[in-house]
Structure 1
Amino acid sequence: MRENPWLALATSDGELQLWDIETQKRMRTMFGHLSVVGTLSWNGHILSSGSRLGYIHHHDVRAAQPHIGAVRQSKQSICSLQWSPDHTLLASGSSGGLLNIWPNDPGMGGQCRPLTTISHSSAVKAMMWCPWQSAVIATGGGIKDRMLHIWNVSSLKKLEIADTKSQICSLLWLPNTKELITGEGYPWNKISVWRYPMLSNSAELCDHKGRVLHVALSPEGNRIFSAGADETAYVWKYRMKPNTMHFQKDNCFN
């Protein structure tokens, strides 16, 4: 959340905690979930969270009584959640293979229905909106699917698809170079770089020995952070060369 120096954490008990990253003090604890909270997404002052029981809760962190709405996607666990860059749509992925697109209505009740539902053949754990095309979202399938999908949620068209031959655990768009990164699990545990929109593979980083669970981009846009199930994190520096992209390992944390 840019306008406040807050870090949101979710716990296995269903709590949401807000921490001040400058003072390293907990500001408040919010309740509502009755099970493990596995994913969070900010939309301005609204913090949305998804639980193992299939519920999505919305909290207005400015309010004394922050819980302002909830909806249940399905009886399947919510394993990914993200607001679109223009803040108009919320995407949620379930362990049952459903990608749901919801309207921007944080006060929505339990009877609210998604605007769009797209089925996958396995859990939708990896998901990210395109930063420069507001209706475009990338999703990654689990080991039964292994596909990198690009969707236009306005037209309900699948724009592109690529077989990664791996479980896709995380996704990251690179706005400066119009590239897409997949953090992968079984069987290769690698990071793949894809040229967009043709989805041709341009690079592979194979240092992780376990699933690549998370990838993130630095504020400057020239470094990538990756964290794996092998309890190792890497920082990668990248820059464009003629007709190719050069990656260099910048740091490693165990």
Structure 2
Amino acid sequence: VQYVCALSFFFQPGDSTFNTSNSAPVTPAKSYEREQMKRMMRVKSAGNLTDACEEERILCYKKNLAPVPAVGHLNQAKVLYSTCIQPASAVRKSTRHIPQHPERVLDAPDFKDDYYMNVIDWSSCGVVAVALSFTLYLWNADTGEIQLDENNEMNLITGVKWSLDGKFLAVGFRDGSLKLSELLCMTVVELSCTTLCVLSWRGAVVSAGYQSGQIIHHDVRVSQHITGVWEGHDREVVGLHWSHNQTKLASGSGDNTVRVWDESRLGNNTSESLFVLDEHVGSVRAVQFCNFKSSLLATGGGMQCKTIKLWNVNNGELLKSIQTGSVNGIIFNRDYKEMMSAHACGKLIIWKHPNYAEIAKLSGESLIR
């Protein structure tokens, strides 16, 4: 095998082997030697140049076989090189780990299993409020501190909701009374004739849904706190949520409908809502505006319906209907663009936006509210 190479003695200083000048003296021996050298340099190799041992190669010319630079290599020209072991089509997308077991389990004696009550809420300050029949239970997730407020009047707690800043807790009772809690100092702000079922905050205004179908708005900053009464539902209001831009309120009811209200009517008594969404065939407790897409509203039907429906609240259009179990709650995850639903059959399901395919299912040992 002949290799396209040159031995070192051909490049000694003063050697005229490769001097092709016409004026250089040429002997017959030198002329013959030069012709043989040219012929050897032009001939095609009979073997694969890459098969030779490292010790046998001086120069080796390859096609498209330059070594790949190391990942993150920075050369003297400050050019950053990167490489991938696999082609782009074969690279797998990384997926986050979703725990299948709870981080902590808290005892909840006397917790009421009632579809028409909303008795647990987590504040933006990391404090969980849980109503255990007649007792309000507060647990600080950061410190583990526990506070209890005994209800001496033996009035069943039917709804709890923290303000957006986590400073105030609204507590509703079976007799219709609504109380505000700041460091467990209770102040009565309203007494209605029917049971309070659900609460939602908009700044300093707390909206309360009642068994009568009314929605009453209370401004906690003033003594004449009732700013408006909205009447539209025929049965109890069990789902209530202000949008994250605070321009719309969604209410779900035992009359199988969801109503979308505009904040411009907040200071008025009215029965006119923007939209009446009537595609559910059962009571609607789960209502939640999306926190990363303001026009999206998710609603979940109860045992008779067993569907999650996604709506465009700008025009009332039904975007998608997902068949699932009885839905007790819905929440959106802005960071991962996901939706989580809680079901009466003891499971949590995570759905991926925008097609809302199921990506994870978490099972509990008892009923998940």
Do both share a fold (TM > 0.5)? yes
Which of 6, 15, 23 is the matching residue for 2:177? 15
Which amino acid letter does the alignment assign opposite residue 64 of structure 1? Answer: S
Superposition deviation, residue 2 in structure 1: 3.9
- Hey, what's the Cα distance between the residues in 1 that align with 2:238 and 2:322? 22
Which of 122, 139, 155 is the matching residue for 2:299? 139
Corresponding residue number in structure 2 for 1:76: 235
Whether 2:260 is the aligned partner of 1:91: answer no
Superposition deviation, residue 209 in structure 1: 1.6
Superposition deviation, residue 113 in structure 1: 0.5
Which of 50, 54, 63 is the matching residue for 2:209? 50
What do the CA deviations read for 1:187-226 (whole angstroms, capped 9, x no partner)?
Answer: x32111111121111111112422x21xxxxxxxxxxxxx
Structure 1 residues 144 and 35, CA, compared in 2 at 3 Å: closer, same or farther? Answer: same
| DSSP-derived class of the 1:125 partner | strand
What do the CA deviations read for 1:75-134 (whole angstroms, capped 9, x no partner)?
Answer: 20101011111111111111011100111122221x430110001111111110000111
Which amino acid letter does the alignment assign opposite residue 19 of structure 1? Answer: S
Larger radius of gyration: 2
Corresponding residue number in structure 2 for 1:159: 319
Superposition deviation, residue 30 in structure 1: 1.3
Superposition deviation, residue 32 in structure 1: 4.4
CA contact (8 A) 1:79 1:95 kept: yes
Superposition deviation, residue 3 in structure 1: 4.6
CA contact (8 A) 1:160 1:198 kept: no
CA contact (8 A) 2:164 2:201 kept: no
CA contact (8 A) 1:161 1:199 kept: no
What do the CA deviations read for 1:36-55 (whole angstroms, capped 9, x no partner)?
Answer: 11100000011100000101
**4+ residue runs over 2 A deviation:** 1-4
- Hey, what's the Cα distance between the residues in 1 that align with 2:338 and 2:347? 16
Whether 2:162 is the aligned partner of 1:5: answer no
Structure 1 residues 44 and 133, CA, compared in 2 at 3 Å: closer, same or farther? Answer: same
Between stretches 41-50 and 69-78, larger displacement belongs to 69-78
- Hey, what's the Cα distance between the residues in 2 that align with 1:122 and 1:174? 26
Corresponding residue number in structure 2 for 1:203: 360
Equivalenced residues, count: 205
Structure 1 residues 208 and 33, CA, compared in 2 at 3 Å: closer, same or farther? Answer: farther
Higher helix share: 2
- Hey, what's the Cα distance between the residues in 1 that align with 2:365 and 2:295? 32
Which amino acid letter does the alignment assign opposite residue 89 of structure 1? Answer: K
TM-score w.r.t. length of structure 1: 0.77
Corresponding residue number in structure 2 for 1:127: 287
CA contact (8 A) 1:78 1:93 kept: yes
Whether 2:189 is the aligned partner of 1:189: answer no
Superposition deviation, residue 65 in structure 1: 1.5
CA contact (8 A) 1:78 1:94 kept: yes
Higher strand share: 1
CA contact (8 A) 1:32 1:67 kept: no
- Give me the identity figure in percent: 27
Corresponding residue number in structure 2 for 1:174: 333
- Hey, what's the Cα distance between the residues in 1 that align with 2:166 and 2:224? 19
Structure 1 residues 175 and 208, CA, compared in 2 at 3 Å: closer, same or farther? Answer: farther
Which amino acid letter does the alignment assign opposite residue 160 of structure 1? Answer: K
- Hey, what's the Cα distance between the residues in 2 that align with 1:139 and 1:158? 11
Corresponding residue number in structure 1 for 2:195: 36
Q: Which has the higher contact order (CA 8 A, sep 6+)?
A: 1
- Hey, what's the Cα distance between the residues in 2 that align with 1:3 and 1:172? 18
